[in-house]
Structure 1
């Protein structure tokens, strides 16, 4: 038989106060009578009287002196009124906040993003989403794709955008296969072509990403298959600086579409490349907790922006 520790003699039984009791008490204190409070609350006088009596039973002492059919607040009633108003205001504030959350006007977003999208694309997408939502706070963390994956897998970040990872139980992915574009100096004769392949770039200086990146391996394979010479002049970590080199007329580069969409200069033009070299990115979300309404809405907004890039 389980042993139950005896309750100390001076232990206080927990109170079971309700929102309606506090609301009724405040109205009685404000109006000064049961009849006026009942009219203000839209309830019968017996119902209001019973509510006050029940409140006093929970508190274990009277709040009013009852004489000749009138209620006179005791000193304890004025003290309790301050507490009741504080509780009711906190509940009202919570109700307002929850209503704003339901309307996506309040809350927090934690976003992790790989470098290609962090400079321009993701801030623009986030700015459009937050327009008209001053109560939403957002944290935007730029990290490598591998770190973005870990941040989302930790279940602490609401959403991530990164190069498509391998299968992982702690994250969900929504993948987008985006064919790269060839960035060309506007002054180059190649800019007059509608589509460009390895033979057109035979011996032409190129900027590529590092050896381990899949776009470099795919580019090298495409040139080898076409029998074209690959002149790798620049090796970079991301495509964004490559576009500055292209704008200076120093090279061409196969560029992911997110970086291409972020470029604002007029000295670079973009053309499709054949064979297609795909840069796959994914929206990452935590697998072990449901998304907030706000995170879900932002995920849809981000998906729409990526689909627009894919279709452009």
Structure 2
């Protein structure tokens, strides 16, 4: 049986309008065309749908049983066409993003809010994972894009690196607030909160402090920059974090200053090599690029 959408449309119109003539007017067809379409539909089904006699035309019980299914089928096709149109225009779809903590807390919430305001029909699935897990998800097509720590060594991925400055964060009202920038010497008298010993920021911090002649230790580690900021807000100490998380205006009682010598946080946007990205993914990637460029340069004023 090879039913055609036109057969269902004719059947539905006749059931809705109650006559062949009215259905013909509704579909802008002739009455013979309507009658032929109904007859072909009945032939394919193998049973009649209407009583036909001189001056009398009425649906059989079988027609009532099939009417709702015909209507749902037509609506499904219309929904398919509408969704396809939105996808073509970039207004619908599913965007799957993998991100490690630094981006998931400091960057993506605001971007998702802005993006969904303009694209309410695009579904977004944000997964917070380690860089290794995100690379696996993107390379296997389970995520469209990922934000990970650099460097990235995977031939199956396209990598777009970003380099962000790091800042020193501390509770508002701290003596550090009087300084224009924070140096290794300034950290000596403060309890330092680290990320983790193997993290690139912690490694750089130990190196620049050792070069300056100061030995520092971080008795507390937070793993995520956002978690570290929360501990700073509670008065647990000071920390060196990326500008994404350090410079956010959260009104949480945390202030920041540039750190010298400069420490950089290297991150990267990854995509599956050779993959054709959807329009929503392309638009979101551009938002990431724009925001990363802005974060790469610290604001002129640091009085927060």
- Please report the TM-score for the alignment, with normalisation by the length of structure 2: 0.78
Match of 1:229 in 2: 214
| 8 Å CA contact retained: 2:206, 2:216 | no
SS at match of 2:247: helix
* Cα 1:251/1:230, change in 2 over 3 Å: farther
Match of 1:159 in 2: 145
- Aligned-pair distance for 1:37? 1.9
| 8 Å CA contact retained: 2:90, 2:278 | no
Look at both structures and tell me which one has the larger radius of gyration over its CA atoms: 1
- Structure 1 window deviating more from structure 2 (242-251 vs 150-159): it is 242-251
Match of 1:217 in 2: 203
Match of 2:260 in 1: 274
- Aligned-pair distance for 1:126? 2.3
Match of 1:19 in 2: 5
C-alpha distance after superposition, 1:7-44 (max 9, x if no partner): xxxxxxxx121111211122223334333222111123
- Aligned-pair distance for 1:181? 1.3
Match of 1:253 in 2: 239
Matched, 1:54 2:16: no
Match of 1:305 in 2: 291
Q: Residues of 2 paired with 1:159 and 1:92: CA distance?
A: 31
- Aligned-pair distance for 1:176? 1.5
Matched, 1:28 2:14: yes
Q: Residues of 2 paired with 1:249 and 1:55: CA distance?
A: 76
* Cα 1:78/1:240, change in 2 over 3 Å: closer
Q: Residues of 2 paired with 1:242 and 1:34: CA distance?
A: 73
Q: Residues of 2 paired with 1:82 and 1:266: CA distance?
A: 57
| 8 Å CA contact retained: 1:184, 1:270 | yes
| 8 Å CA contact retained: 1:204, 1:251 | no
Match of 1:114 in 2: 100
Q: Residues of 2 paired with 1:238 and 1:185: CA distance?
A: 18
| 8 Å CA contact retained: 1:149, 1:165 | no
* Cα 1:267/1:72, change in 2 over 3 Å: closer
- Aligned-pair distance for 1:98? 4.0
| 8 Å CA contact retained: 2:156, 2:273 | yes
SS at match of 2:270: strand
C-alpha distance after superposition, 1:170-215 (max 9, x if no partner): 43333221011122454455433334444x4474444433332222
C-alpha distance after superposition, 1:234-255 (max 9, x if no partner): 3523334544565577754321
* Cα 1:261/1:79, change in 2 over 3 Å: same
Q: What is the aligned length?
A: 296
Q: Residues of 2 paired with 1:267 and 1:256: CA distance?
A: 18
- Aligned-pair distance for 1:260? 0.7
**Unaligned stretches of 5+ in structure 2?**
300-304
Q: Residues of 2 paired with 1:29 and 1:235: CA distance?
A: 73
Match of 2:165 in 1: 179
**Unaligned stretches of 5+ in structure 1?**
1-14
- Aligned-pair distance for 1:87? 1.6
- Aligned-pair distance for 1:271? 2.2
